[in-house]
Amino acid sequence: MTQPTPFDEMHNADGSIREPYRELDRWLREQPPQALNLMATDAEGIFRRLGITFAVYGSNEGTEKLIPFDVIPRIISAAEWRRLARGIEQRVRALNAFLHDIYHRQEILKAGRVPEKLILQNAAFCPEMMGIDPARAVYAHIIGVDIVRTGPDDFYVLEDNLRTPSGVSYMLEDREAMLQLAPDLFQRHKVAPVETYTENLMRTLESVAPEGAGASPTIVVLTPGIYNSAYFEHSFLADQMGAQLCEGQDLFVEDGFVYMRTTSGPERVDVIYRRIDDDYIDPLTFKPDSMLGVPGLFDAYRAGTVTLVNAPGTGIADDKAVYTYVPEIIEFYLGEKPLLSNVPTYNCTNDDERAYVLANIGDLVVKEVHGSGGYGMLVGPTSTRAQREEFRNRIIARPDNYIVQPTLALSTCPTYVNRGIAPRHVDLRPYVLVGDQIRITPGGLTRVALKKGSLVVNSSQGGGTKDTWVLEE
């Protein structure tokens, strides 16, 4: 199968420049030959100073790596963003309504719109959450929706990421770096700010504090610790919000209230932005051998004395098998047609679809239902024969463990590479905050596959990032 020509976000088919990129194009033409190279070198220095690193699982060469940054920003027009933002808002409203329903009356299952077995027998479904009424009925407060583009008006949601999405610190640092590297470029554009994110995060967290928490609730960020790949981000966000960064051992529960140990004695905690997975947050209720969590935390949550952000059990709504039902979910709760499309997905438990998948695996993308971070997936067109064979066998052995999608021709953006500027594939992860209102930071994190032709943008698989600009009118 020949892949269609990917959509180039900067150039029209006839080589002319698309509207949002006109000024950038002019600016690029004005730059002396070595300018971008210098910027790239400066960028590396800036990131080293900022200390942005990430850990790669399964890599022996030191635990910390610098995430590559591309100096050419990605630009989205105001009109394009309006459409995207409306679609994202619709999706997160529907998914929060779905979570409330699934953990209460389960009307959507009774109506047969989503198969009951898919939810009730799912490992990501958390029965302990039944009947809890979280503040403002919000379960997923912090969301990073993965979106890909295949044409001028064609956006697809790849994943909803309702658990503990990471990467927002890269979005903020990319902007900070870009402001230092090319201040003149900002003077020539009206770029919507992203710096408001941490302030909005704080407002969101305050707005979901439990009743009786008072006007300025105590908020902490709970991290699994320095060996977590996103530890940098946990400390960064805590620092930006002026909140305490805690590990499990820094918190304790007494008589159903959560306290933080401080030098001046225990302090009541009202809201916990936790970056520890559900299974590990409380050894009394979940994994008994977890050393990362806080014993009794979940009971305190049930007793309503503390808010957990995001709520446990949100994973049921971004489960890859549930993903295919999101259009149904939107229609069921909102009575609206979805504004953003899902990527067409093959269900391997269906005989016809599995047969198609096995015959055409070289053109498809195979993902593990519970995988993330680009691990445990197959990208057909760039795979080896042995890899294809292995995934064929895996699908035959456990068809319910995989979802399969066509290889999308991800859009490309101009990217600075060794030999100059060349198109590279990108995706987009806008960050959404849900509390007293829904706040979407304009833009998000653009991940770019730096290898020519590669479609895998994950930082753990050799991807980089770009500053993402939404133009204001």
Provide the binding-site residues for another protein, judged by CB under 8 A. 104-106, 109-110, 116, 120-121, 125, 127-132, 252-257, 282-285, 288, 295-296, 299-300, 302-305
CA–CA gap between residue 33 and residue 38 (Å, rounded) = 10
For the bound state, the minimum distance from the C-beta of residue 124 to another protein, rounded and expressed in Å, comes to 12
Three-state SS string over 191-230 comes to ECCCCCHHHHHHHHHHHCCCCCCCCCCCEEEECCCCCCCC
Nearer to another protein, 49 or 117 (CB): 117
Provide the β-strand partners of residue 440.
432
Judged by beta carbon, residue 285 or residue 383, the one nearer another protein is: 285
CB nearer another protein, residue 305 or residue 310? 305
The CB-of-465 to another protein minimum distance in angstroms stands at 40
Distance in angstroms (rounded) separating the CA atoms of residues 198 and 229: 20
Q: Which is nearer to another protein, 129 or 241 (CB)?
A: 129
Q: Give the residue with the Cβ less far from another protein, 2 or 121.
A: 121
DSSP characters over 161-192: --S----HHHHHHHHHHHHHH-HHHHHTS-BP
Q: What's the min distance (Å) between Cβ of 418 and another protein?
A: 53
231-241 and 197-207 helices cross at what angle (nearest 10)?
80
Query: Which DSSP state fits 17?
Result: B
Give least dist CB 285 to another protein, A. 7
State the minimum distance, in angstroms, from the CB of residue 211 to another protein. Answer: 14
* CA–CA separation, 258 and 420 (whole Å): 55
CB of 360 to another protein, least distance (A): 34
User: Min. distance of Cβ 335 from another protein in angstroms?
Assistant: 23
Beta-sheet pairing, 271-274 with 219-222 = parallel
Residue 109 amino acid letter: L
Whose Cβ is closer to another protein: residue 198's or residue 290's? 290
DSSP string, 225-255: -TTSTTHHHHHHHHHHHTPEEE-GGGEEEET
CA distance 44 to 426: 21
Q: What is the DSSP letter of 26?
A: H
Residue 79 or 291: the one with the smaller Cβ distance to another protein is 291
CB of 302 to another protein, least distance (A): 5
Identity of the residue, 87 or 313, whose beta carbon is nearer to another protein in the bound complex: 313
Q: How far apart are CA 2 and CA 5, in angstroms?
A: 9
Instruction: Name the minimum Å distance from CB 120 to another protein.
Output: 5
Contact between 251 and 223 (Cβ < 8 Å): no
State which residue, 18 or 302, has the beta carbon closest to another protein. 302
CA-based nearest residue to 119, from 105, 106, 104, 132: 106
| Buried-exposed string 386-420: b where 16+ CB fall within 10 A, e elsewhere | eebeebbebbeeebebbbbbebbbbbbbbbbbeee
